[in-house]
Chain A
C-alpha cells in the first residue's frame, strides 16, 4: 500500500517536473522522422539545380501593429511594418535624414517655393498588380486633407493635421506628373514627404477593402503583405516585381515578444534574428555574446524637464499662431519663483545630468545641452551648458530672493517613453538634487492621457516630457517644442511657455528659405536664446539600440528609428 502511494507521488511530481522534457523528447523524435524521407522525395528531379534555402528574417518586436495604413499610424510598431511595404515620393538616404528620389524621379520648386512639381517613376506596380501613377498619388494625399473625399471617413489622419498643415492640395498634371501646392513656403516639407504619412497606397486596393483597408495593405515597397495573426506575427514576402533589385530576403516576419527578457532569450537561441528595445541592464550580457551584434547610436529625441514660466496665449482662431489680438495671459500653473530667470538658472546648476544619464539611462544616452539632437542641421555646438554646481545654484537663489528655497510641484510621467525609460526614477533624482539646494519638490502623477491634457493646458509648475522627431527636420524640434507659437494654453507643445516673439521671427525665417546654411543660422540663434532663458533642463538624448544575430548583414540604423529591412540578408 505504502509502496503504491509513494510511487503515485513520485509519478505525479515527475509528471509535473518532467512533462515538458518528456513530451519534447517524444515530439522532437517525431519531427525528425519526416526529415529523413525528404531527400527521397526530391530524388526524382536531380537535373534541376538545388533551390536555395528560403531567406527568412524574423524580427522580435515589442508589440503588435495597430493598423496597416501608412497615413493612419502613429506608433512605432505599425510604422516598422509600413516602412517595408510602402514607399513615398522621396525617401531618406541610408542612415541620414537627407532625402533622395524614390517614387518621384525629380522635382522642381516654383512660384516662390509654394509649388513643387514631381515627375513620377514609370513602370512601377503596386502589390495588387495595378499601376503606380499620378492618380494614386493624388488619392493618397487627398483622402487625408479633403473632408469630402469618399475615403476621408476611414481614417483619423493624425499626422496630417500637424505635419502637413501648410499643404493646400495635390493635383494631377498628367499621368506621371503631379503638383503639390502649398499655402506658404515651408522648407521642412520635403523632409516631411519622406515620412510614412505620405506613402503612396494603391487606390484600387483601398476601393476593394473600403473601411477594412487598414488590415490589407498594398504599396509599391520591397515586401508585400502576406498574413497578420493578431498579437502574434505579421508576415511579409519579397516583392518579385519590385522596381529596384529584388530584396535578398524572401520573407520578413515581425514576431511580437512583449517581454524584454524573453525577447533577448529568443534572439540568443536563434528563434529570431533581431530584436528592438533591449533592456539596458542586459547590454553587458549582449556584448559578451560573440553571436550577437549590438547596434546603438544617438536617437532623434530629447528628454527634458520644463518649467512653466507663467504666461501663454489662447489660440482663439486655432490657426497655430499667436496673432496680434491674442494677448499673453497667466497659465493655470503660474508659480512666481519659476517666472524668474535666476531661479530657473539655479535649477539648471543644481541638477547633475551626467549622473542621471550614467545611472538611470545606464549609459545608453548622451547628456543634452540643446533641445534637439546633435546630428541635426542647425545644432549649436557653441552653447556652453550649465555645469553641475550646487553652490552656484544657492548663490543664484539668494540673488533671486529665495535664500531659503521654496516648494514646487513636479508632474512625473506615468509611462516609459523612448526618450526616458524610467521617469519616476529621474524625477526622484531631480527631487534630491533640488532638495540639496533648498527647493522641496512634490511629486504629482496622473494617467498618461490626463498628463498630456494638463501639461498642454499649462497646469503644471514643472513637468517631465520629451519628443521623438518625426521627419528629421530641425523645425520639427525647434518650432514644435520651443516656438512661441506653440505656447498656446490648451494645446501647448512649448511646455515652458517661452514667448519671446523675436525667437519666433527666427523660426519663421528658417522655414521661408530652402537654403540650408541660412536655416541653420536661424536655429543656432534660437538655441542661444533658449539657453539664456533656461526654461528647460535638457536631460538626455536616448540611444536607439537594436540587437542582431551576427549572421544578419546589411542593416543600417536610421536616425528616425524607422526600420528598413530592404538591404538586409542572412548569411
Chain B
C-alpha cells in the first residue's frame, strides 16, 4: 500500500511536466500580447517594449519556458504580470474559498444524489423512479446562471432570508487562519461570523450542487440496478432477508464503487473553480480569477494555476482510489 502511494506520487512528475509544457505552448500560441493588453488603448510603443523586456516576453518561447521552469523548481511561481502580486499568494488567497464552496456543494450533491439514486433503483419503473430521474435530468440541464438568479430572487429578494451574494456580511471582519471561513470562525469562536459565512455559503452551494447531484443520482441508479440483478442478491432474498436489509446493507455497498469515482472526478473539477456560480454569487473563488488571467494573457498566473489544478486533480483521484479499499476489501493495491 505504501509502495502504491509512493508510486502514484512519483507518477505526478511526468503528469505535471506534460501539463506544464502543453499549457505553456497553448497560451503562448494563442494570439494576444500581454504587454499590449496591460498597457491599454493608447500606450506608447516605448511603454509596451519596456513591458515586454521586463517580463521577458521578447525572448523565444523555449527560453521563456526554461526560465519559468527553473523558477518553479525553486518553488517560486513568480509574480503576476497584471497585478505584480506573487502568483502563489494570489492562488492561496482564493483557493480556500473555492474549497469551501466545493466541499459544501459536494456534501449536498452526495447526500441528495445518492439517496435519490438508491430509491429510484429499488423502485425501478415506478412513478417515484420517473419523478426522481426527471428531476435529475432537469438538474443536469439547468443553466447555473439562471438557477442562481432564481434562487436569489426567491430566497434573497422575496423571502429576504439569505444574502444575494458574497462571502460574508460586509460589517463582519474575520481574522484569517485557513481561509475556510466556517473553520476559521469556529477556531476564533466568532459565532457571528460563523452564522454569516454559513448563510452566504448556502445558495451558491445549492446552485453548484445541482449538476453533480444529478450525475450522482443517475450513476447510483444504474449501478444499483446492476447489483440488484446479481446472484447474491437473489440468494439473500431467497434466504428471507428483508428487502430493507438487502438494499441498504448489501446492495448499496456494492453499488458504491462507480459512484465514488464520479464523486472524485466531480470534486476534482470543482476544485478548479466554477466560473458561472462564482460570478453570479460574487464568490471570490479561483475560477473567476483564472478566467480573467487567461483573458489578460497573464502567463505566470495561468501557468501557476494550471499546475496547481492538475496537482489537486491527481491528488483527489489518488484519494478516490484509496477509498475503494475501504469500501471493497477485495481490492488490494501493491
Interface centre among A1, A315, A493 (most CB of B within 10 A): A1
Task: Kindly list chain A residues whose C-beta atoms are within 8 Å of the C-beta of B34.
Answer: 449
Given A21-B155, A23-B202, A231-B289, answer yes or no on A257-B165 (Cβ-Cβ < 8 Å): yes
Contact of B202 among A24, A31, A161, A211 (CB under 8 A): A24
Task: Kindly list chain A residues whose C-beta atoms are within 8 Å of the C-beta of B148.
Answer: 262
Instruction: Judge if B256 is at the interface, Cβ distance under 8 Å.
Output: no
Instruction: Judge if B230 is at the interface, Cβ distance under 8 Å.
Output: no
Interface centre among A6, A9, A233, A256 (most CB of B within 10 A): A9
Task: Kindly list chain B residues whose C-beta atoms are within 8 Å of the C-beta of A570.
Answer: none
Secondary structure of the B contact surface, majority rule: helix
Contact across chains for A162 and B44 when beta carbons are under 8 A apart: yes
Contact across chains for A156 and B51 when beta carbons are under 8 A apart: yes
Contact across chains for B47 and A162 when beta carbons are under 8 A apart: yes
Q: How many A-B residue pairs have CB under 8 A?
A: 200
Contact across chains for A158 and B38 when beta carbons are under 8 A apart: yes
Task: Kindly list chain A residues whose C-beta atoms are within 8 Å of the C-beta of B289.
Answer: 230-231
Contact across chains for A12 and B33 when beta carbons are under 8 A apart: no
A315–B44 CA distance with the chains assembled, in angstroms: 11
Q: Which A-chain residue is minimally distant from B31 (CB atoms)? A: A450
Q: Which A-chain residue is minimally distant from B50 (CB atoms)? A: A156
Interface string of B39-59 (1 = CB under 8 A from A): 111111111001100100000
Contact across chains for B44 and A452 when beta carbons are under 8 A apart: no
Instruction: Judge if A362 is at the interface, Cβ distance under 8 Å.
Output: no
Interface centre among A5, A19, A253 (most CB of B within 10 A): A5
Contact across chains for A158 and B281 when beta carbons are under 8 A apart: no
Task: Kindly list chain B residues whose C-beta atoms are within 8 Å of the C-beta of A229.
Answer: 93, 167, 284
Task: Kindly list chain A residues whose C-beta atoms are within 8 Å of the C-beta of B165.
Answer: 257, 259, 262, 266
Q: Which A-chain residue is minimally distant from B33 (CB atoms)? A: A449
A197–B301 CA distance with the chains assembled, in angstroms: 26
Tally of contact residues, B, Cβ under 8 A: 81
Given A12-B112, A24-B162, A449-B34, answer yes or no on A233-B170 (Cβ-Cβ < 8 Å): yes
Contact across chains for B284 and A255 when beta carbons are under 8 A apart: no
Contact across chains for B170 and A447 when beta carbons are under 8 A apart: no
A299–B194 CA distance with the chains assembled, in angstroms: 43
Given A21-B159, A156-B47, answer yes or no on A5-B128 (Cβ-Cβ < 8 Å): yes
**Contacts A/B (CB < 8 Å), 6 sampled:** A16-B112, A19-B202, A158-B43, A258-B279, A449-B31, A449-B36
Known contacts A318-B44, A446-B31; 7 further A-B pairs (Cβ under 8 A)? A1-B244, A19-B202, A54-B171, A232-B282, A262-B148, A265-B149, A268-B157
**Chain B residues at the A interface, C-beta cutoff of 8 Å:** 30-34, 36-47, 50-51, 54, 82-85, 90, 93-94, 108, 111-112, 115-116, 119, 122-123, 128, 131-132, 135, 145, 148-149, 151-153, 155-157, 159-167, 170-171, 173, 191-192, 195-196, 198-199, 202-203, 206, 213, 243-244, 279-282, 284-285, 288-289, 297
